[in-house]
Amino acid sequence: MGRDEQVIRDHIRHQEAEDRRLEQLNLVWWPPWGAQGAERLRLTVRFERLTLKPPALPGDTYLGAMTKLTQEQLDRLLEQPIYSWDVTRLLGNVVDFLEFSEGHLEWRRRAELRKAEQEGYAVQFDPPDEHLRDSYREHLIENAQYRFDAGLSQSIRHSGLLSFIATLDFCARLFSKRCTGDIPPKPRGASESVHIFRYLKEESASGLDAQLKDLQNLIFVRNCITHAAGLAENYAYGNEVRAAATELMGIAVWYDPVLGDRINVSEGAIEYYARSALAWVPALDEECTTKGILKVTPNE
């Protein structure tokens, strides 16, 4: 028993050291959807933040670097139009929230699994029963895994999806107020936001068919989360949600042994779509503003 206990202690000590090592590394993340998904993500451009403090987070840019610019360069920089600045800030917040939450969640998951393992080894039954102790330890570990993998992680990603769609809804309303022409009435049952974006896409001849199709499917998923807690079998439009999920990367309808058919969002899925929007929303704004389809805003 003493030798086994020492092996367990050594294993836990080694795992804690490995966790600390991983936390110190600047790891490169790729989505878990194969080469095609990784390539699509590589082509997106993340919104870079300008802050008044030294860089503390990836993507922060220190304004002190501007002191190295010439007056001509600084004037040109300040005169450069910035399209959809408010929307890109909100989209950047969605990405930051998800990245921070996912990182903290993974750290807590490892800690809870270590705790469950330790409690499982420490429990004593009277009379002693090795099989019962092993079963109890597995029960603790499985509960912790389900809590983080099917519970907390999905709550974070569902919240990220709701914030992402709400931001694009806000963007669509801003664009509609700036339209120089009349937007035709939307078809019955269509999304107002997708209708506005599609109108601007057609007027400006912007190639956003794939992005708007993704947005429509994400709205189907968002509606299921909002009205049925993400449970497809209890949702009146469950078949539409299942069809939408099959066309999205990192989103699926899985069978949950406790809750039944449920929307499952993979790590990085919402970040991927938010990063994509960080590229196409300002591009659409610039195209429409340049062609006079949208009125110029003060910061453009």
Q: How many domains does the chain have?
A: 1
The reported pLDDT for the residue numbered 192 is 95
Between CA 158 and CA 169, with CA 164 as vertex, the angle to 5 degrees is 125
| Residue at 257 is within a domain | yes
| Residue at 199 is within a domain | yes
What number of other Cβ atoms are within 10 A of residue 193's Cβ? 23
Domain range for 266 is 165-300
The reported pLDDT for the residue numbered 272 is 95
51, two tokens: 């802050």
- In degrees rounded to 5, what are phi and psi of residue 171? -60, -45
| Residue at 69 is within a domain | no
The reported pLDDT for the residue numbered 299 is 55
From the list 90, 102, 285, 300, the residue with the least C-alpha distance to 200 is: 285
- In degrees rounded to 5, what are phi and psi of residue 265? -110, 125
The reported pLDDT for the residue numbered 175 is 95
The reported pLDDT for the residue numbered 275 is 94
| Residue at 19 is within a domain | no
Q: Is 262 helix (H, G, I), strand (E, B) or coil?
A: strand
pLDDT profile of the chain (300 residues), mean per 10: 55 60 46 46 38 42 57 68 87 93 86 84 81 84 82 91 96 94 90 95 91 96 94 89 94 87 93 95 93 79
| Residue at 28 is within a domain | no
| Residue at 229 is within a domain | yes
Q: Please state the separation of Cα 82 from the chain's center in Å.
A: 24
| Residue at 185 is within a domain | yes
Question: Is residue 187 within 8 Å of residue 264, measured between CB atoms?
Answer: no
Question: Is residue 32 within 8 Å of residue 272, measured between CB atoms?
Answer: no
| Residue at 172 is within a domain | yes
